[in-house]
């Protein structure tokens, strides 16, 4: 499958769709997931057009991982999470639903189970204070 320039993350990168940003640099963007599996669920994407990890340049993969680690550390600290799950799916059979390579950063809390993937959309306004907390820990 060829990279689709109209996928939702490409549209977010171009400013055609809104986002609640957590972090951005020259090569990556991190934003709150609109369908969070857990409080503080953040998506980290490269600005490089790549469908999955196999399409991403080695430099892009390194930058994506560096930003993912930075966000995971900040989310864990700021949200007082007990643990963090990092999920990266490459390919439809792996469960990838948006075909722009990305990591999901999902904080964990004692007694709070993860919700199912892409099940319920939340009001973006509720994500703003969580994003602010994470940004404060960067």
Residue 107, Cβ density class (10 Å: 0-12 exposed, 13-18 middle, ≥19 buried): buried
Active site residue 102: yes
Residue entry with tokens 């007990």: 82
Non-local (6+) Cβ contacts of 66 within 8 A are none
DSSP state of 27: S
CB atoms within 10 A of CB 74: 22
**Which of 41, 100, 102, 108 is labelled catalytic?**
102
37 vs 1, 47, 50, 63, CA distance in Å?
A: 27, 24, 24, 25
Radius of gyration of the chain (CA): 14
Active-site positions read 102
């Amino acid at each position: 499958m060829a990279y689709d320039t109209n996928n939702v993350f490409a549209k977010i990168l171009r400013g055609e769709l809104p986002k609640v940003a957590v972090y951005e640099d020259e090569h990556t963007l991190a934003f709150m997931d609109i369908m969070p599996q857990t409080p503080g669920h953040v998506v980290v994407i490269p600005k490089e057009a790549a469908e999955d990890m196999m399409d991403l340049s080695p430099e892009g993969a390194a930058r994506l991982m560096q930003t993912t680690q930075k966000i995971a550390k900040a989310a864990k600290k700021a949200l007082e999470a007990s643990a963090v799950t990092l999920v990266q799916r490459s390919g439809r059979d792996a469960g990838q639903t948006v075909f722009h390579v990305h990591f999901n950063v999902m904080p964990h809390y004692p007694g709070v189970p993860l919700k199912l993937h892409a099940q319920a959309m939340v009001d973006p306004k509720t994500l703003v204070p969580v994003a602010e907390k994470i940004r404060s820990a960067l």
